[in-house]
Amino acid sequence: MHQEDGAREDFTCVFVNPVGQRRADFQHGCDGMFANLRVAAGAEQARALLAREPADLLVLDLERCDLAIDLAALGALVAERAGAPVLVLCPFTNARWLPALMAFGPLDYAIGPLRAQQTRALLAARMRAGFSVSAPGVPTPSETELRTLLAVRSACQQALADADDSVRYAERLCAALAGWPGVVHAALFQHRDGDLHLEAEQGVEGLHLMALLAHDGRLLQSPLRHAFPGLLAAATGEFTLLDTLDKAGEPALAARLDTFGARMVVGVPIPAPGPGGPMGALCLLFGHAQPFSPAQLQALDDLARLAAHGLRMAEITRENEALLARITHLATTDALTDLANRRHGESLLEQEIKRARRYRLPLALILFDIDRFSQINDTFGHPVGDLVLRTVADTARALLRSSDVLVRSGGEEFQVIASHTSAIDALKMAEKLRAAIEQVEIPGCDHVTISLGVAQLGEGESGDSMAVRTHAALARAKRAGRNCIELAMS
């Protein structure tokens, strides 16, 4: 008998797993540990065995079990134990089983995969402790722990105040999560634009998860995505709990994390509001392996839901801003030429007048109109007319300074609001426009010309008055034979 590892040979056990080989392995690995070890392929068979003869310990090995299919039956088995020892062996990639089963009754758990020797040592330790459900496996949280948990939860909730910006929100959330008892580092991963992004991380100085995990700057390409809980949870939507790093089968990663003082890593998926995969994951690195109570597991799940809410709020803010920008563009822009429209032009002129007054700077307005444009429409058709309008707009835009504002103020009438510009300079600018447009080649159409009126803002003059004077100058240019410039009277 294996007295050396503390086993008590008077203990009886029922082991449950659907796979024959695993049942055989467990029986072989625990050889001599129990007075009586019986195995069952499922909840039904285990119930029958326990009805015939009770067992001191029920071991539920969840490897190859399916939460969606098997939870109700296995949960009923936990409930029927009514507090008698239950040990759950849970694969690190499927930790969602733990809160789900804990809802049925008290249990102790160990994270797999476990080698035969580890399982043996674990069982021996539990036997020495008399298989009490609350120790040493799952401790009842102390008042201090609960207070800390409360502080973390409210800090995470307060982070929502920053949820109009996803990165700022993620930073605040990680700072809050780093306050979780035992956590040395907290990170938030989010799916965005076809890749997984590390939005924020907080904790150990010098620990950069991107540098540790990413391949060619991309996280989804990471060769460690099957092993690192943060990536795994974000990719699969599974709650991932790696209580000792060697269990993931990546010794180099385990060793690197160990140098940063991380010995246990948890990945909690952030659920998407609708169907489809998760939005991302919260990732917590702990300084030591520590068992979770049902309250702590529930809190982790709650915080991930809260994170989903915060990230969705940030997304809505982003969408709203884009929508507002689009509406503003539509309301202020002429669709044909992409220039400022008449209404927007009027308000821009008012702004420039105020500025010119405040800084005592000259301001000029150039008004121009395409000559005999109705003939172009009549001769070549409306689509060619539209092309002429776009070509004139593009030609003028290319000639102007970035500080000049070009406006489509009417059908085939345009304005240039030229800040810091006197009448003399505006006349030069008008001549450049006239000459350039006269030269431009327009496919399927004759050359076009424009007539221009130019005015400089007078002392104390209003925008309306300036526009009236410019229109009068333009009318004189038309009367003077077109394709020419007239300066407005002051």
Nearer to ligand GH3, 153 or 372 (CB): 372
Nearer to ligand GH3, 436 or 475 (CB): 475
What dihedral angle (degrees, nearest 10) is formed by the CA atoms of 88, 93, 99, 104?
-40
158 binds ligand GH3 (CB under 6 A): no
Q: How far is CA 21 from CA 16, 24, 86, 122, in A?
A: 12, 5, 22, 21
What mask of x and - would describe binding to ligand GH3 in positions 335 to 364, judged by CB under 6 A?
-x----------------------------
**Contacting ligand GH3 (CB under 6 A), which of 312, 478, 483, 484?**
478
Given ligand GH3, Mg ion, none, residue 382, with its beta carbon under 5 to 8 Å by kind, binds ligand GH3
Residues 80, 112, 228, 223: is their CA dihedral positive or negative? negative
Closest CA to 341 of 387, 267, 407, 247: 407
How many Å apart are CA 200 and CA 365, to the nearest integer?
A: 51
**Contacting ligand GH3 (CB under 6 A), which of 171, 199, 201, 369?**
369
Q: Are 474 and 453 in contact (CB under 8 A)?
A: yes
Helix axes 143-158, 166-177, angle to 10 degrees: 170
Q: Which residues, 6+ apart, have CB-to-CB distance to 30 below 8 Å?
A: 13, 37, 119, 120, 123
Nearer to ligand GH3, 12 or 377 (CB): 377
Place of tokens 């009318």: 475
386 binds ligand GH3 (CB under 6 A): yes
Q: Which residues, 6+ apart, have CB-to-CB distance to 178 below 8 Å?
A: 184, 185, 186, 202, 203
CB neighbours (10 Å) of residue 424?
A: 13
Stretch that binds ligand GH3, among 74-82, 127-135, 366-374, 432-440 (CB under 6 A): 366-374
**Contacting ligand GH3 (CB under 6 A), which of 13, 95, 152, 389?**
389
Q: Which residues, 6+ apart, have CB-to-CB distance to 316 below 8 Å?
A: none
Q: Provide the minimum distance between the beta carbon of 412 and ligand GH3 in the complex, in angstroms, as a whole number.
A: 4
Q: Which residues, 6+ apart, have CB-to-CB distance to 12 below 8 Å?
A: 34, 35, 36, 37, 38, 53, 54, 55, 56, 57
371 binds ligand GH3 (CB under 6 A): yes
Residues 343, 347, 348, 353: is their CA dihedral positive or negative? positive
334 binds ligand GH3 (CB under 6 A): no
Q: Provide the minimum distance between the beta carbon of 483 and ligand GH3 in the complex, in angstroms, as a whole number.
A: 10
Positions in the binding site for Mg ion (CB under 5 A)? 369-370, 373, 412-413
412 binds ligand GH3 (CB under 6 A): yes
333 binds ligand GH3 (CB under 6 A): no
**Contacting ligand GH3 (CB under 6 A), which of 318, 355, 382, 447?**
382
Given ligand GH3, Mg ion, none, residue 312, with its beta carbon under 5 to 8 Å by kind, binds none
Stretch that binds ligand GH3, among 100-108, 136-144, 191-199, 383-391 (CB under 6 A): 383-391
373 binds ligand GH3 (CB under 6 A): yes
Given ligand GH3, Mg ion, none, residue 385, with its beta carbon under 5 to 8 Å by kind, binds ligand GH3
Order of strands across the sheet with 240-242? 195-202, 183-192, 280-286, 264-270, 240-242
Report how many residues bind ligand GH3 under the rule CB under 6 A: 16
385 binds ligand GH3 (CB under 6 A): yes
Given ligand GH3, Mg ion, none, residue 478, with its beta carbon under 5 to 8 Å by kind, binds ligand GH3
Helix axes 423-439, 382-399, angle to 10 degrees: 140
Stretch that binds ligand GH3, among 73-81, 188-196, 199-207, 380-388 (CB under 6 A): 380-388
Q: Provide the minimum distance between the beta carbon of 377 and ligand GH3 in the complex, in angstroms, as a whole number.
A: 5
Q: What is 13-47 written as a DSSP string?
A: EEEE-S-HHHHHHHHHHTTTT-SEEEEESSHHHHH
What mask of x and - would describe binding to ligand GH3 in positions 1 to 40, judged by CB under 6 A?
----------------------------------------
Nearer to ligand GH3, 268 or 406 (CB): 406
Stretch that binds ligand GH3, among 365-373, 399-407, 415-423, 454-462 (CB under 6 A): 365-373
Specify the DSSP class assigned to residue 287: S
Q: Are 472 and 369 in contact (CB under 8 A)?
A: no
The H or E element containing residue 297 is helix 294-332
CB neighbours (10 Å) of residue 170?
A: 29
Nearer to Mg ion, 47 or 372 (CB): 372
Q: Provide the minimum distance between the beta carbon of 479 and ligand GH3 in the complex, in angstroms, as a whole number.
A: 10
CB neighbours (10 Å) of residue 124?
A: 19
Given ligand GH3, Mg ion, none, residue 389, with its beta carbon under 5 to 8 Å by kind, binds ligand GH3
Site of interaction with ligand GH3 (CB under 6 A): 336, 369-374, 377, 382, 385-386, 389, 411-412, 478, 482
